[in-house]
Amino acid sequence: MAITSRDVARMAGVSQPTVSRVLRGAPGVAPETRARVLSAARALSYVPSETGRSLATRATRRIGLVADDLTNPFYPELVEPLRDRLEQAGYRALLVSDRVDDPVEADRLADGSLDGVVLTTTEVGSALPHELVRRGVPCVLANREAAGLPADTCVVDNQLGGAQVAGLLASLGHRRLGAVFGPASTSTGRDREAGFRAALGEHGIPLRAELVRRGPFTHDAGRAAVGELLGLPAPPTAVFCANDVVAMGACSAAAALGVRVPDDLTIVGFDDIAMASWDVFGLSTVRGDLTLMADEVVRMLLARIADPGRPAERVVIAPALVLRRSHNAV
């Protein structure tokens, strides 16, 4: 049996509401009573029940963090600063998985155990954010966006980032380009591709269909795709990868085939996760500031919790090329 405020009240010789007042630091309690209550609470190792408090206040100070597979090195880079900011704001992070083969049910996010939800793996046509908005669950999309959704969103300018890579490869003199794009069902995959293609067009550089692959944001997908490209009679001199994890798969493919990076192959990623700077990769990539993204996401979420009626915001983070050692002029 856990200790309750009643037990503390009994021991301190006061009423239960007085205990509540003292432990909340509410004003209007005599210093002497306060001291008596506090010492009783300490003696009993009393900790107020979060459940009781939640029921009374209708707030749980808990936020759902919906993510796919955390072993994919991209997600911790986003989840970690999110959890950090949330804890700083007095909230706690509940990790909810959302697998393709086992998607979250909206019910589990709308059961009143969460004050809000951050979605990090939303697919373009997903019904989940709409469902949450409909049910009045405060909700912010991080990193991904869904068209026509009246919900707060924070994304990197993926089109611009893609265009920056195209510009880099063009200026390095590459003309035989390869690409491993992300899933078309994700705004990140789609937008990076669109920006890359458009800018390539402006530079008058073709992107041959046989040098284009598409796959999930995983190492293995990048490895397989670039393995194929490197086996072609006329392989590309540079590949743009959907993100850093895919680019690391490209590095793996190159390593397995004895292809030197960047001498024989230029590899460019996207995101600038911490591992991209490891010497084994030295990955040239596009930086999207995920810490800033976490800041914005948490700010918007708290604002929405405070005022559910506020207009939806869309924050766009400027991307920046990070040039390391995985690129070279032809």
Partner DNA sequence: TTGTATGCGTTATCAT
Partner DNA sequence: ATGATAACGCATACAA
Binding footprint of its own copies on the chain (CB under 8 A)? 2, 45, 47-52, 54-55, 60, 62, 65, 69-71, 73, 75-77, 79-80, 83-84, 87, 92-97, 107, 110-113, 135, 219, 223, 248-249, 251-253, 255-256, 274-275, 278-281
Instruction: Please spell the DSSP secondary structure of 96-162, one letter per residue.
Output: EE-BTTBPPPHHHHSSSS-SEEEESS--TT-SHHHHHHHHT--EEEES---TT--SEEEEE-HHHHH
Q: Is 150 exposed, middle or buried (0-12, 13-18, 19+ CB in 10 A)?
A: exposed
Taking the complex as a whole, the smallest distance from the CB of residue 105 to DNA amounts, in Å, to: 16
Taking the complex as a whole, the smallest distance from the CB of residue 65 to DNA amounts, in Å, to: 24
Instruction: Please spell the DSSP secondary structure of 269-324, one letter per residue.
Output: -SB--GGGGSTTT--BEEE--HHHHHHHHHHHHHHHHH-TTSPP-EEEEPPEEE--
Taking the complex as a whole, the smallest distance from the CB of residue 13 to its own copies amounts, in Å, to: 24
C-beta of 49 vs 171, nearer to DNA: 49
C-beta of 16 vs 252, nearer to its own copies: 252
For residue 79, the partner it binds in DNA, its own copies, none, with Cβ less than 5 to 8 A by kind, is: its own copies
Beta-bridge partners for 240:
179, 268
Considering the rule CB under 7 A, would residue 30 count as an interface residue with DNA?
Answer: yes
Residues 154 to 193 in contact with DNA, rule: CB under 7 A = none
The interface mask with DNA, positions 48-77, x = CB under 7 A, is: xx-xxx-xxxx-------------------
| Spatial distance between the Cα atoms of 189 and 267, rounded to a whole number of angstroms | 17
C-beta of 104 vs 194, nearer to its own copies: 104
User: Given candidates 5, 284, 326, 328, which one binds DNA under the rule CB under 7 A?
Assistant: 5
What's the first-to-final CA gap in the chain, in angstroms?
72
Beta-bridge partners for 314:
153
- Which one-letter DSSP state was computed for residue 239? E
For residue 33, the partner it binds in its own copies, DNA, none, with Cβ less than 5 to 8 A by kind, is: DNA
For residue 209, the partner it binds in DNA, its own copies, none, with Cβ less than 5 to 8 A by kind, is: none
| Spatial distance between the Cα atoms of 14 and 27, rounded to a whole number of angstroms | 16
How many angstroms separate the Cα of 85 from the Cα of each of 154, 254, 315? 15, 38, 17
Q: Which stretch binds DNA (CB under 7 A): 22-30, 145-153, 186-194, 284-292?
A: 22-30
C-beta of 11 vs 109, nearer to its own copies: 109
Degrees, nearest 5: CA angle 201-204-210:
70
Q: Are strands 139-142 and 177-181 parallel, antiparallel or unpaired?
A: unpaired
Taking the complex as a whole, the smallest distance from the CB of residue 307 to DNA amounts, in Å, to: 18
Considering the rule CB under 7 A, would residue 106 count as an interface residue with DNA?
Answer: no
| Spatial distance between the Cα atoms of 272 and 249, rounded to a whole number of angstroms | 15
For residue 256, the partner it binds in its own copies, DNA, none, with Cβ less than 5 to 8 A by kind, is: its own copies
Taking the complex as a whole, the smallest distance from the CB of residue 82 to its own copies amounts, in Å, to: 10
Q: Hunting for tokens 């390095």 — which residue is that?
A: 172
Considering the rule CB under 7 A, would residue 20 count as an interface residue with DNA?
Answer: yes
Helix, strand and coil content of the chain, in percent to the nearest 5, comes to 45, 15, 40
Report the interface residues with DNA, using CB under 7 A: 1-2, 4-6, 13-18, 20-21, 23-24, 27-30, 32-34, 46, 48-49, 51-53, 55-58, 112
